[in-house]
């Protein structure tokens, strides 16, 4: 069940989007999660467009938790000598976000990021780094936000959510709000397990965002269900 306690106040909300070659930078285009999945055994190359090498090492270590033994049968291969990679990571843009799954292949401009960590810096705590890196790399593996689960049971106060996220510091568009918050994907569109409020892919949201005053807290790492699910998707 979702918590009935108020979630901690935070302005750190991420968005995810499916890459489309005809779309403007940062635009959101709805598509099927299944179409964004990798093939089990894939090597997903990654590089950094900017940022501090000390922070790069920390991001690499956190991302590798998804592909630890017994989890996803995939490999992240981080390259330091080129940006000709599938994932390209930046730290210079506002917010934290990622392209969903293998749709990153559609972005062929090697100077354009497919993932961004806007609030991370070398002095960020290990807990903060793991939370946001695991979340964004979950998107990069094809996972959506947990609150978009077909059976999430969340009753949004849409007006309250729109007020909160359309203003500063997020400035989300209506399209971003609909794709990242309000759209619950159907069972036919997604591979999914039972709704997991402990998932790293779960958003933190306060009671003021829901009609029944339930809330969700920021989860610190991969839940047992996250681990089972990613192992099932990439055996």
Burial annotation 35-52 (CB, 10 A radius, 16+ → b, else e): ebbbeeeeebbbbbbebe
Does a structural domain hold residue 4?
no
Q: Is residue 213 part of a domain?
A: yes
CATH number at residue 32: 3.40.390.10
Q: Which residues of 185-194 are buried (b: 16+ CB within 10 A; e: fewer)?
A: beeebbebee
Distance of CA 181 to the CA centre of its chain: 12
pLDDT at 153: 67
* Total number of domains constituting the chain: 1
Instruction: Give the lowest-confidence range in 56-65, 162-171, 184-193.
Output: 184-193
**pLDDT bucket at 26, cuts 50 / 70 / 90:** very low
Decide if 41 is inside a domain. Answer: yes
Taking alpha carbons only, the member of 33, 1, 12, 95 closest to residue 233 is: 33
CA atoms within 13 A on the CB side of 174: 1
What does the longest C-alpha to C-alpha distance in the chain come to? Answer: 51
Q: Considering the domain boundaries, does residue 9 fall inside one? A: no
Model confidence pLDDT, tens digit, residues 69-125: 999 999 999 999 999 999 999 999 988 899 999 999 999 999 999 999 999 999 999
Q: Is residue 163 part of a domain?
A: yes
Contact between 56 and 48 (Cβ < 8 Å): yes
Residue 100 counted as domain residue: yes
Q: What's this model's pTM, rounded to 2 decimal places? A: 0.79
Cα torsion 182, 65, 12, 141 to 10°: value is -40
Assess if residue 8 is contained within a domain: no
Instruction: Provide the b/e sequence for 146-155 (b: ≥16 CB within 10 Å).
Output: bbbbeebebe
> Helices 53-63 & 126-140, crossing angle to 10 degrees?
60
Is residue 121 in some structural domain? yes
Token pair belonging to 37: 């999945």
Range of the domain at 97: 14-233
């Amino acid at each position: 069940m979702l918590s009935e306690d108020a979630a901690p106040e935070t302005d750190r909300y991420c968005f995810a989007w499916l890459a489309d070659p005809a779309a403007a930078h940062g635009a959101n285009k709805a598509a099927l999660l299944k179409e964004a999945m990798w093939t089990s055994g894939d090597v997903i190359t990654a590089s950094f467009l900017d940022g501090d090498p000390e922070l790069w090492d920390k991001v690499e270590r956190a991302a590798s938790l998804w592909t630890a033994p017994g989890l996803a049968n995939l490999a992240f291969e981080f390259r330091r000598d080129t940006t000709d990679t599938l994932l390209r990571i930046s730290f210079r843009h506002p917010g934290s976000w990622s392209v969903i799954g293998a749709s990153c292949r559609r972005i062929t401009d090697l100077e354009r990021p497919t993932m961004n960590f806007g609030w991370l810096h070398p002095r960020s705590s290990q807990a903060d780094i793991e939370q946001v890196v695991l979340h964004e790399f979950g998107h990069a593996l094809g996972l959506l936000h947990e609150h978009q689960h077909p059976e999430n049971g969340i009753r949004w106060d849409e007006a309250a959510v729109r007020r909160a996220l359309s203003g500063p510091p997020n400035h989300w568009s209506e399209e971003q709000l609909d794709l990242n918050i309000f759209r619950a994907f159907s069972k036919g569109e997604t591979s999914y397990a039972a709704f997991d409020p402990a998932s790293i892919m779960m958003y933190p949201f306060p009671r003021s965002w829901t009609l029944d005053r339930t809330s969700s807290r920021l989860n610190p790492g991969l839940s047992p269900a996250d681990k089972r699910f990613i192992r099932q998707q990439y055996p």
